[in-house]
Structure 1
Amino acid sequence: MNKIEKIVYDLVKSNPRVKQNIRNLYQSFFDILPNKKNFSINKIDLKEGYFYGFHDVTPFSEDSSKLLANKITIPLRMPERGDVLEVGYFNFDNGIKDFIKIGETLAWNYHKGCRLQWLKKNCIIYNHAEGDNLISCIHNIEDNSKKSLPFPIDSVSPCGQYISTFSYGRLEKLMPGYGYRVYDDISLIKEKTSKNTGLFLGDVNKKTKELILSLQDLAKIGDLSSEDLNCHHYVTHSLFSPDGKYISFLHRWVDITYTTRRHTRLLTINLESRECFVAPTNDMVSHYVWNKQNQIIAYSRVGNIDSHVLFEEPTLQKYRRIAYPKLNSDGHQSFISNDSFITDTYPDKNRMANLYKVDCNTENVTLLAKLNSYKKFQSLPPDRHWCCDLHPRMNSKGDLACFDSVHTGNRAICVMKI
């Protein structure tokens, strides 16, 4: 972002609806100009009509021979109750090959899909709905066996035994477009800080879940104001640490009776001691991921500066800013190695989304791709969130990036060597 864009962004960034309206109006002035040419450092292999979703888990199998994907079955509109999303994977051998369908889901959105991810080497897990109940399905691709859990998932522990979860019904009410059009019985949306919902830990083997941190407990952590406590609180964006000892998550709250202004903080919880740690951020955290050294890179506000911040241990108290002001706009990160990551940007005034490689030690920033994001995919407030962020994800070797893009004019899942 240039200086003027950054000033305006800083004024409206805490109010998602106002921010979207101003962004859409600003970009419309540049619509009369010809589309910019797409750029990428290497050839992009893609399949139109497919996407994966969020950036925090990888669609690649451990050996990169398979690539998880969702197949869209509806036109460009918000998914409604009963709309089907096909679930499966591509065989991958120096390119995206044939699609193997393993099932269908009725619990999905454009940003996070159905939380499709690898549970173990040959097992895939994803969210689904049976009537009014949210569940998760497990598919073994080796013997085609299937089973289900009586609750949805958000993320999977490294050992594959545990999952993190929360109320997708509450999430959909308070952050439309990120939950599902099926409302669960733990949303308790009439309560602002309930003692009966929050962050849950599920056991895949026992098919049980327990509430490990309630919204009421969360509201007591730190120095929240009476105004904060009078908001509706919720949990989202949870991830296990690579050693499986912590769960990180975003704690958010919003006053739905007055404004869409959203407040966010990043926390971790030690699963053995149940001790919580709060990142020293100032009211804003958007996206984050772990590296294999139990460090977190998060786009967040520390002091009065929004930037990518590397939290160097799970207690979140030791940190350093990365590549600022070279990178001064929000993005979705994925680690290439412990010392480097890729991140995207939201579309700029010319509707071009950028993909960068960032070195945490040298703070060098390298442009990997610059791709069109056409206007028809622009989300419209308050709840038509059908945009396509790049959401880059890396394979385990660190040489292949997978991302979603609309630079061809259609939503597509893409793979590029970096």
Structure 2
Amino acid sequence: MNRRHFLRTTAAASAALAHTPLPAQTATSYPPIRPITSGPPFHWFGYYDKLQFESTNRYALTNQVDFEGRSPTPTDSIKVGMIDTQTGQWTEFGTSTAWGWQQGCMLQWVPGSDDHIIWNDRENGQYISRILNIKTREQRTLPLAIYSLSPDGKYAVCADFARIDFCRSGYGYSGIDAACKDEKIPAKSGIWRMDLQTGEHEIIFSLADAAAVKHPTIDLSEKWNWFNHLLVAQDSKRVIFLHRWRDEVDIPRDKKTGGFTTRMFTINIDGTEPHVLEPSGVVSHFIWRDPDHLVAWARPEAETEARVILYKDKTREYTKIGVDTIPRDGHMTYVPNTNNEWMLCDTYPDKVTREQTPFLLHIATDKRIDLGKFVLPADYKGEFRCDLHPRCTNDGRKVIIDSPHGGQGRQMWEIDISGIVS
């Protein structure tokens, strides 16, 4: 995509958006928005808890693909690269055959570096990760696919992506059979810690370890267990993750998007001190607020409805956030450089209008500010839907979303929130 084409499509898409009537609020009441990619091909970043920008907040990592509307096959390859948000120039860095629609290939900047990026790939029958110096183009291959990086840039925590795909569609990778697919609570599948310099790795918490933490009413050895959604705390000392299980796995792929139960764990980076932070079975998206606290969409056992819950790690203490302003699940993060006063979140498509809404919440006043309403076409559904997954630039001035509302398939859009949070 050259600069002239980018500027032309940017102007056209922005003009179309500005003249599209939006329910409840006029388009001009929303903060400024512009596309930062155009297509075809299609562009998206994926999950909301990865570093998409380097320290200048100019260069945004992105996945690029030439199809939509179906599950990836083992031979489907995506490109990984970077968009200069000032000029629109696309720079390609590599490819991947280990990816999914919701989280891409875990493409992200290595914390603390403006030179190194990392993403997952498949090589010689294994899921691996690649670290690239984007300036020298020197590349290293690490023996495991990563899920989350420690903020000190030293370690990755890694999941069994073949087992995730075996148990739930949309979040693992296709192309390699799960090694322990005949076992419900395998001791050789779980969470690994990997040194980003040497590639040395060890399993720190297995599915057998998780099942050994007794559930009050369920025999977990009779369920199909897996881990999903790993995230390291800001001080690089604790890891949060979801422990999930279901009754059957021999079911159609489109039935694997739901029908499971979840509890939320935290452990030390070496796997010690496991703590079931939310045992209720109803818990979804989460984010660390600080090394001792995190928020999650959950329904604690004492509550009748799920809400955004602020937990204190290693305790049973919690408080509710946005009881009236966030009535449904979304992807929440804290806006950087706001002293945790502002939360960024989104909605799933409205059942009638198909609108998805990114929004800010001023926590102290419970004031919600919608950032726009973006229609998700009906054919974006199930495993290959396009969630907004809003994420901030590192300075907390801009929000980036993935959305197909502009008529060019899934693309990335930038929303200027500087006038709200400053």
Q: Using the alignment, how far apart are the partners of 1:44 and 1:265 within structure 2?
A: 39
Query: Does 2:162 align with 1:169?
Result: yes
Query: Does 2:31 align with 1:41?
Result: yes
Q: Using the alignment, how far apart are the partners of 1:148 and 1:369 within structure 2?
A: 41
Q: Using the alignment, how far apart are the partners of 1:235 and 1:63 within structure 2?
A: 34
- Asked whether the 8 Å contact 2:283–2:298 carries over to 1, the reply is yes
Q: SS of 2:89's equivalent?
A: strand
Q: Using the alignment, how far apart are the partners of 1:239 and 1:320 within structure 2?
A: 21
> Who is 2:283 aligned against?
285
Letter paired with 1:193: I
Query: Does 2:318 align with 1:328?
Result: no
Letter paired with 1:190: D
Letter paired with 1:230: E
Query: Does 2:92 align with 1:101?
Result: yes
Which of residues 373, 386, 389 in structure 2 aligns to 1:388?
A: 386
The CA deviation at 1:139 is 0.6
> Who is 1:359 aligned against?
362
Which of residues 97, 107, 113 in structure 1 aligns to 2:104?
A: 113
Q: Using the alignment, how far apart are the partners of 2:314 and 2:259 within structure 1?
A: 27
Q: Using the alignment, how far apart are the partners of 2:51 and 2:362 within structure 1?
A: 20
Query: Does 2:246 align with 1:248?
Result: no
Which of residues 340, 343, 348 in structure 1 aligns to 2:342?
A: 340
Please give the residue correspondences for 1:284-303 in structure 2 after superposition, counting only pairs within 5 Å: 284-292=282-290, 294-302=292-300, 303=303
- Asked whether the 8 Å contact 1:117–1:126 carries over to 2, the reply is yes
Runs (5+) with no aligned partner, structure 2:
1-19, 252-257, 418-422
Change (3 A) 1:316 1:124: farther
Structure with the greater relative contact order (CA < 8 A, sep ≥ 6): 1 or 2? 1
> Who is 1:138 aligned against?
131
Query: Does 2:306 align with 1:306?
Result: yes
Change (3 A) 1:155 1:189: same
Please give the residue correspondences for 1:98-247 in structure 2 after superposition, counting only pairs within 5 Å: 98-120=89-111, 121=113, 122-183=115-176, 187-247=179-239
Q: SS of 2:197's equivalent?
A: coil
Aligned structure 1 segments of 4 or more residues deviating by more than 4 angstroms = 34-39, 257-260
Change (3 A) 1:357 1:183: same
Q: Using the alignment, how far apart are the partners of 1:161 and 1:258 within structure 2?
A: 38
Letter paired with 1:152: A
The CA deviation at 1:219 is 0.9
Change (3 A) 1:223 1:147: same
Comparing 74-83 with 163-172, greater Cα deviation is found at 74-83
Superposition TM-score, scaled by structure 1 size: 0.85
The CA deviation at 1:412 is 0.5
Change (3 A) 1:320 1:86: same
Comparing 246-255 with 289-298, greater Cα deviation is found at 289-298
Q: As a proportion of its length, which structure holds more strand?
A: 1
Q: SS of 2:406's equivalent?
A: coil
Q: Using the alignment, how far apart are the partners of 1:104 and 1:188 within structure 2?
A: 28
- Asked whether the 8 Å contact 2:73–2:175 carries over to 1, the reply is no
> Who is 1:405 aligned against?
403
Change (3 A) 1:291 1:184: farther
Q: Using the alignment, how far apart are the partners of 1:316 and 1:180 within structure 2?
A: 34
Q: Using the alignment, how far apart are the partners of 1:316 and 1:358 within structure 2?
A: 26
The CA deviation at 1:92 is 2.7
Comparing 162-171 with 274-283, greater Cα deviation is found at 274-283
Q: Using the alignment, how far apart are the partners of 2:62 and 2:225 within structure 1?
A: 32
Change (3 A) 1:294 1:143: farther
Deviation by residue 1:36-71 (Cα, 9 ceiling, x = unmatched)? 569442223331321000111131112212111001
The CA deviation at 1:272 is 5.3
- Asked whether the 8 Å contact 1:287–1:333 carries over to 2, the reply is yes
Q: Using the alignment, how far apart are the partners of 1:114 and 1:44 within structure 2?
A: 25
Change (3 A) 1:235 1:224: farther
Q: SS of 1:144's equivalent?
A: coil
The CA deviation at 1:282 is 1.7
Q: SS of 2:164's equivalent?
A: helix
Change (3 A) 1:322 1:56: same
- Asked whether the 8 Å contact 1:134–1:182 carries over to 2, the reply is no
Q: Using the alignment, how far apart are the partners of 1:145 and 1:153 within structure 2?
A: 19
Q: SS of 1:169's equivalent?
A: helix
Change (3 A) 1:168 1:43: same
Q: Using the alignment, how far apart are the partners of 2:278 and 2:342 within structure 1?
A: 23
Runs (5+) with no aligned partner, structure 1:
1-33, 380-384
Change (3 A) 1:329 1:226: closer
> Who is 1:88 aligned against?
81
Change (3 A) 1:159 1:140: same
